[in-house]
Structure 1
Amino acid sequence: MAAQPTVTPMDSSTPKKPSSKPKGPAPYTFDDLILIRATVPEVIQQTWTNNMEEWAKGVPLPQYHARERLLASTAFSSEGRLITWILVPKLDADVTTAYKEHTTAAAENQDQNKEKGVRGGFDPKDVTEENLDRILGAVETYERPGIMATSGEGDDSIKQVSSMSVASVYAPSKYRNHGYGKLMMRLLWQEIGNKGASFSFLYSDLGPHFYGNFGWTARTSTEIVIPPAMALPSPRSICTSATESTRTTRASTKDVALESVTAESLQELVERDAQLLQETMKSKVQNEPSKTTFVAVTPEVRAFQWFHARAWFYAKDILKFKDAEMKELNYGVRVPGTKDEFVLWHHDFTDDNLFILRWRIGASMSLDNTGDSDTTALAFVQAAQQEAKKWKLSKIVYWNADESLAKLLNLEIKYRNHSIPCLGFLKPSEHSDKVEWIMNEKYSW
């Protein structure tokens, strides 16, 4: 029988945070600040320029902006689903006296003829450098379909709802440590509530507690990392009874023929995935004894297209792969003739990963200790290894993988301390004791 997978923390160190010491007086008071929706292209582009200092990872500004424009033009981001929010001073606001005195003195000490620092309020239509410099923080939200159900309330409790994904939370380094980021998230929580979302979620790189102050609570999340060169296990003995009797059931991975998931076949797989999620919700509410509300992000084809567009841009415009190679940048693989046996992945060239977005072997999504199930899983892993090698990606990463897969591969399960999933529940059930986020794989990121 395969050994139990070891579960360990990723790294006990706390993620790095900016220095807590302000660089001078705060330029604006909280009462003078508002969170507004950015609609002018130049204003939105300025938020990209601001966050480049953290996220560009060596990509030059023209290409970085080109990537963001491409992703903003996808179906996933269209029709108002993507909103860029900015924290700015009101139009009639001005900086604090302490800040004005501090910057004036600094300019005089440096023998400057003009004062250093920002001045005045923000005009949403002004695209001058002086006005754009008044953007104190920015954050993006994506409206996404979700599903929600509460146990003990019958099948009628299963509802299709709206959810809100939060991303790209950023404050320019020169404006940090004045509490502006915290204010921005408090105001954003109110805006999300006003838009009617049932739940919201984000992935924190500031540890498990920061976003809990504003409504998003951290959730335990694991990952397994599969090296592309790792030898897959040979047929093993599987426990079939409480007396530990065993039998060999698994065949070679060569017994499973796979085919690439193309743009044409993706739609039917995602639609079937959403149907199976509905069935999973039904089973959850029928079998959960305690009052529990279950939520999940509904699979939709445009989200996978967004991931693919991101990978395509890096491969073509940054890494300069040849056109012949680009034609093979597929969405994943599936067992031919099936709609519920597939793996979908994302070529994350930025962080050198092949990310598993969705993994499904039958309705349960987990292995059942049968030869067929194990064989299909190994075939999927083998295909992912080949894909990672083809594109020179150093590892395969799978968030919240089923424990049985880790057992099968004899891999360690690690708790993540990066991209920590945090869930905000805006419409709790009146009698619900807890909220469970299911199917929280990289797809939801």
Structure 2
Amino acid sequence: MNGLVKDLPDSRSPALGLVQPTEEEKLRQMKANAVAWRGALSLDAYLKREKFLASRELTQNGGLTYWALVDKAAKERLVLAGCETYRKRAIVAQNGTVKDVWCHGIGSVFCPPELRRRGYAARMLKELGEALKIWQADERESLFSVLYSDIGKEFYAALGWEPFKSAHISVPCTSQAIANELHDPLSPVHLLYADDLPDLCADDEKLIRQSMKMAPSGKVHVAVVPDVETILWHHAREEFVAQELYRRAPDVKGAMVFDESGKRVWCYWTRMWYNEDPTDDAGNTLHVLRLVVEGEGTLNWETQASDEMFLRYVPSIAALIGAASQEARAWNMANVEIWNPTKIVIEAAKTVYPSAEMVHRDSESIASLRWYGERLSVGPVGSWIDWLGNEKYAWC
């Protein structure tokens, strides 16, 4: 490697290009990036997990693509930087017109430590950004791509992926938090299982489409579809890690308050283990993937918070957070996190745990979006694009 590093090309060289890596190159890249991405898993288990996740319904048939920047002229090809993209169904609405498009989610951007500060990651992303405009666009347009930056906001913004709201509220899974859980006799909690997900995801998509039709003109409204394939990918990831750590997998996938169609409030969640010690909960987090309020329409409830909505939904959402806290505690989680909560969700979290506070992320998991369609303004895309459902489910 040392000899190769000395002879590496300039990142501006026309000999560099973006390719789909070979199986051998993918394996070398995964072994190199394992320290960053394996979490609580051993190297061997991490490699098995990535192979397992590549076979899920979301990632089959072109749903997952690996990318690498290489020197095409080199006799011995070396991956200078790599990443992967997930093809996701998305919806774009403007002035009452709703369009089905692709969104490509970018994940695992990695440059080996010995090759950093040479501009390779930036060169790869510049080429990838252009490639994704037309990648797999034979069936439908690719109008935007997303990524979640763990290196702050500036690097990816300079390459076209502009930062959006990236905040969360966290409820610790302590006995105090669970003791303060709100038990509303009018809001009994029903636990959700894998068999419940297909119908609920389909209902959620209908709500999003209805909301987008009602969206005010003058802005572009986008959403990654929280379809069952996406939710099941998160659960497959969770189940694999649980089996490795505890030799069993969780079957509770979320919770619901009320069960009458048109009045339901529900959420899906996933557990993420970061601590290599399976007996230590530090760092382990139950993430709420998606929170759905059925009665008001997704756009109204997410962007408006009337006094009536507070009275109606705070007790229900508090009950869901309480159920999530109990489930998290049972699986050695330290916290429950909800991304980009509304005022109603914040109030509900404080009902469960009065000291809960908003965290505005500025270095990790920064939701970032690059727009490929016509720009409405020369200003930041966040000033004229509303990203609905900017929640954990869209992460990759």
TM interval, shorter chain, is 0.7 to 0.9
Determine the structure 2 residue equivalent to 1:84.
66
Question: For 1:337, what is the secondary structure of its paired residue?
Answer: coil
1:274 and 2:205 aligned: yes
State the Cα RMSD in Å: 2.4
1:434 and 2:379 aligned: no
The answer to whether the 8 Å contact 1:137/1:170 transfers is yes
Determine the structure 2 residue equivalent to 1:101.
none
The answer to whether the 8 Å contact 1:254/1:379 transfers is no
Alignment partner of 1:36 out of 4, 19, 41? 19
Alignment partner of 1:217 out of 162, 171, 174? 162
The answer to whether the 8 Å contact 2:68/2:79 transfers is yes
Determine the structure 1 residue equivalent to 2:107.
167
Deviation at 1:199, TM superposition (A): 0.3
Alignment partner of 1:187 out of 127, 134, 143? 127
Q: How many angstroms apart in 2 are the aligned matches of 1:165 and 1:265?
A: 26
The unaligned stretches of length 5 or more in structure 1 are 1-22, 95-119, 123-133, 236-250
| Equivalent position amino acid for 2:213 in 1 | K
Determine the structure 2 residue equivalent to 1:387.
327
Deviation at 1:261, TM superposition (A): 1.5
1:329 and 2:251 aligned: yes
Alignment partner of 1:141 out of 82, 85, 93? 85
Q: How many angstroms apart in 1 are the aligned matches of 2:260 and 2:26?
A: 43
Deviation at 1:254, TM superposition (A): 4.3
Alignment partner of 2:318 out of 366, 378, 393? 378
1:227 and 2:172 aligned: yes
Determine the structure 2 residue equivalent to 1:353.
285
The total of aligned residue pairs comes to: 356
The answer to whether the 8 Å contact 1:26/1:178 transfers is no
Deviations along 1:384-439, one digit per CA (max 9) or x if unpaired, are: 11101110100001110112221341432221121101110001256797222121
The answer to whether the 8 Å contact 2:104/2:132 transfers is yes
257-266 or 205-214, which moves further after superposition? 257-266
Q: How many angstroms apart in 1 are the aligned matches of 2:180 and 2:366?
A: 34
Change (3 A) 1:58 1:258: closer
Question: For 2:79, what is the secondary structure of its paired residue?
Answer: coil
1:320 and 2:246 aligned: yes
Structure with the greater alpha carbon radius of gyration: 1
The unaligned stretches of length 5 or more in structure 2 are 275-282
Change (3 A) 1:212 1:429: closer
TM-score (norm 2): 0.84
Determine the structure 2 residue equivalent to 1:19.
none
Question: For 1:76, what is the secondary structure of its paired residue?
Answer: coil
Deviations along 1:295-327, one digit per CA (max 9) or x if unpaired, are: 11011101111111111111111x124x4xx3x
Deviations along 1:228-276, one digit per CA (max 9) or x if unpaired, are: 22447989xxxxxxxxxxxxxxx84344222222221100100010010
| Equivalent position amino acid for 1:441 in 2 | E
Change (3 A) 1:385 1:53: closer
Deviations along 1:194-249, one digit per CA (max 9) or x if unpaired, are: 224100010001111101122111112211001122447989xxxxxxxxxxxxxx
Deviation at 1:57, TM superposition (A): 3.9
Q: How many angstroms apart in 1 are the aligned matches of 2:101 and 2:134?
A: 14
Question: For 1:194, what is the secondary structure of its paired residue?
Answer: coil
1:309 and 2:236 aligned: yes
